[in-house]
Amino acid sequence: MIYFDNNATTAIEPTAVDAMQPFLREHYANPSSGTTFARHTRQAVARAREQVAALLGCEPGEVIFTSGGTEADNAAIFSATQIHPDRKHLVTAATEHDAVLNHCAWLEANHGYEVTRVAVNRDGVPDLAELAAAIRPGQTALVSVMAANNETGVCAPVAQAAALAEENGVLFHTDAVQMAGKVPLRLASTAIHYLAISGHKFHAPKGIGALFVSKRVRFQPMLLGGGQESHRRAGTENVPHVVALGQAAACALRHLEMHEAGEDPVRTLRDAFETGLRALLPGVEINGAGAPRTPNTTSVRIPGAPAEGMLILLDQQGICCSAGSACNTGALHPSHVLAAMGRSPEEARECLRFSFSRFNTDGEIQAALPVIAAAADKMRRLR
């Protein structure tokens, strides 16, 4: 099997599995307990918080563990709307993940909010001038713009967007689920107030993530109950997964530091894939090619080869990739991300996403390319 679907989820880093094992077996104490037995567990959670903070470039006290990216996004929106109950306007981008879009839509449908969804250009980048014009000082509760898109890898100028929001006294959230672990982050030097990450996108298990909350802003918890996470997220911590998240963060940081000066091997793989595909299939188009992108993602349109058929043929050959977002698998409607980038429904149906990780090899790229080209030829002939 060749796994090129790392934006859907990733294989767990082996050292992260090792790190969590003792917390599934012998160290099962509740970290909130006052016993000596619990001390080790508590220390492990504190260490994981430091590891995640190091990956994000923030302070450990600014990290709240969550059940994943969806919860972190929802908690940020919830917090902002509760802190400013009188502000009934939200700004987001047309290409956001459903974890943000659907919460905004729910507030709009049921709670009297007005939502401005800022358009993106043909490369998928939201327009900063439009964003600035959309912000209503004193009325906008939150600006939420994703750092990197899950379907295309296109990165938004979130540092500038956050600065714009802050200048206007508005809270700023970013969904960095597809950026964390792939691109260095230094949150302390930005105006970002809230930021969501998800462990399973960078080699930690599923069901664990974190929300960064800047120490400069207030936070209203969404989950109420016990005093865990410094009263910001009630519920006994998922200690084994928290530990694994910390270990995966430490590995990702090492990978990023090692390659920051030179070429990132994941980018080299992705670029080799794109070059190879273009050579084999002239006419292939890369979505968002003109914008900064995460180094691991390529969204390609193969004219004349519908993605649905391609997915079946590639799956038969043991190649995993996806059409649009994996979260939308099974849905035949074309991706809202590609539509926002100006793709017609027919064009969007010919788009495939290949997403790589540091566990992929050049051998896999070279093995997959002719298989993809043959599948595309077959689809074109069938047409």
Residues with catalytic function: 327
Coil, helix or strand at residue 133: helix
Positions 157 through 176 that interact with ligand PLP (CB under 6 A): 175
Tell me: does residue 324 bind ligand PLP (CB under 6 A). no
For 191, residues 6+ apart whose C-beta sits below 8 A from its C-beta are 159, 162, 163, 165, 166, 172
**Considering only 62-70, 224-232, 332-340, 365-373, which stretch makes contact with ligand PLP by CB under 6 A?**
62-70
Tell me: does residue 70 bind ligand PLP (CB under 6 A). yes
Partners of 276 in beta bridges: none
In the complex, least distance from residue 322 CB atom to ligand PLP, rounded to whole angstroms: 10
Residue with smaller CB distance to ligand PLP, 11 or 133: 11
**Considering only 69-77, 182-190, 252-260, 372-380, which stretch makes contact with ligand PLP by CB under 6 A?**
69-77
Residue keyed to tokens 């508590």: 42
Report the alpha-carbon distance of residue 218 to residue 222 in Å, rounded. 13
Whole-angstrom CA distances from 86 to 59, 141, 162, 316, 322 are 31, 8, 21, 54, 41
Coil, helix or strand at residue 336: helix
The single residue among 74, 92, 198, 357 that binds ligand PLP, judged by CB under 6 A, is 198
Which residue type sits at 228?
Answer: Q
**Considering only 67-75, 81-89, 348-356, 359-367, which stretch makes contact with ligand PLP by CB under 6 A?**
67-75
In the complex, least distance from residue 207 CB atom to ligand PLP, rounded to whole angstroms: 8
Residue with smaller CB distance to ligand PLP, 161 or 284: 161
Residue with smaller CB distance to ligand PLP, 325 or 360: 325
Taking CB positions, which residue lies at the least distance from ligand PLP? 69
Tell me: does residue 327 bind ligand PLP (CB under 6 A). yes
Positions 203 through 262 that interact with ligand PLP (CB under 6 A): 209
Instruction: Report which of 54, 29, 93, 326 is spatially closest to residue 210, judged by C-alpha positions.
Output: 54
Interface with ligand PLP (CB under 6 A), residue total 15
Residue with smaller CB distance to ligand PLP, 41 or 335: 335
Tell me: does residue 179 bind ligand PLP (CB under 6 A). no
**Considering only 46-54, 63-71, 131-139, 210-218, which stretch makes contact with ligand PLP by CB under 6 A?**
63-71
Q: Determine the straight-line distance between the first and last CA of the chain, rounded to whole angstroms.
A: 28
The answer to whether the beta carbons of residues 233 and 66 sit under 8 Å apart is yes
Question: Which tokens is 173 given?
Answer: 């959230």
- Tell which phi-psi region holds residue 99, choosing left (phi > 0), alpha (psi between -120 and 50) or beta: alpha
Coil, helix or strand at residue 247: helix
Residue with smaller CB distance to ligand PLP, 81 or 294: 294
Positions 128 through 157 that interact with ligand PLP (CB under 6 A): 146, 150
Tell me: does residue 99 bind ligand PLP (CB under 6 A). yes
Instruction: Report which of 101, 146, 106, 99 is spatially closest to residue 126, judged by C-alpha positions.
Output: 146
- Tell which phi-psi region holds residue 110, choosing left (phi > 0), alpha (psi between -120 and 50) or beta: alpha
Helix (H) or strand (E) holding 250: helix 239-260
Tell me: does residue 68 bind ligand PLP (CB under 6 A). yes
DSSP 333: S
* Residue 123 C-alpha from the chain's centroid: 18
Residue with smaller CB distance to ligand PLP, 27 or 200: 200
The single residue among 41, 79, 95, 178 that binds ligand PLP, judged by CB under 6 A, is 178
- Interface residues toward ligand PLP, by CB under 6 A: 68-70, 73, 97, 99, 146, 150, 175, 177-178, 198, 200, 209, 327
